[in-house]
């Protein structure tokens, strides 16, 4: 199911965010949300969303929790709160920039994610553990850097 969401956005001080580009993010994620042009969910829409002349931001998205940041203020954007299933695609990308044998990832999904680990752009095997539904650890035989893609 794809749901229409519309909200007027204002800058601190009360002026409407007219004709302004606002990125829409998955709540508890560092990834921009996949938005659609209509309720069919077949055609992706631009993200960031451009508000209209009165500051109205509108987009179609799967039910779930989203957020937007405008001039340092975060706007919580629940889309059809009656639906409790996780937001699709629910992607968290962890980038390990300093070499470590254990990568600690706080994803806060509330479920055990599927994990793909990439080192130098190649998928590698690693020991992946989930101490709880909010955290994942990835262990290697020696310190390494790379990227982990976690999906709900």
Q: What digits encode the pLDDT tens for the residues 7-38? A: 778 777 677 889 999 999 887 778 889 999 98
Q: Which token pair is 94?
A: 């962890």
| Domain boundary assignment for the chain | 3-79, 91-151
Class of domain 3-79: mainly beta
Q: What digits encode the pLDDT tens for the residues 61-109? A: 887 778 887 877 777 676 654 543 333 345 677 889 999 999 999 876 7
Is residue 106 exposed (0-12), middle (13-18) or buried (19+ Cβ within 10 Å)? exposed
- Distance, in Å, from the CA atom of 39 to the CA atom of 1, rounded to the nearest integer, reads 8
- Distance, in Å, from the CA atom of 68 to the CA atom of 53, rounded to the nearest integer, reads 18
Question: Residue 17's closest CA among 44, 49, 59?
Answer: 49
pTM of the model as a whole:
0.51
């Amino acid at each position: 199911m794809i749901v229409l969401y519309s909200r007027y956005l204002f800058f601190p001080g009360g002026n409407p965010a007219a004709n302004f580009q606002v990125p829409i993010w998955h709540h508890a994620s560092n990834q921009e949300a996949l938005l659609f042009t209509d309720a069919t969910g077949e055609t992706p829409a631009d993200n960031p969303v451009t508000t209209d002349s009165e500051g109205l931001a509108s987009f179609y998205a799967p039910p779930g929790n989203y957020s937007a940041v405008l001039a340092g203020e975060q706007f919580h954007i629940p889309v059809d709160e009656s639906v409790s299933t996780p937001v699709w695609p629910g992607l968290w990308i962890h980038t390990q920039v300093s070499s470590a044998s254990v990568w600690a990832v706080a994803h806060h999904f509330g479920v055990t994610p599927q994990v793909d680990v990439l080192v130098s752009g190649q998928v590698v095997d690693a020991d992946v553990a989930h101490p709880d539904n909010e955290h994942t650890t990835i262990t290697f035989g020696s310190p390494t850097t790379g990227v982990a893609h976690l999906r709900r």
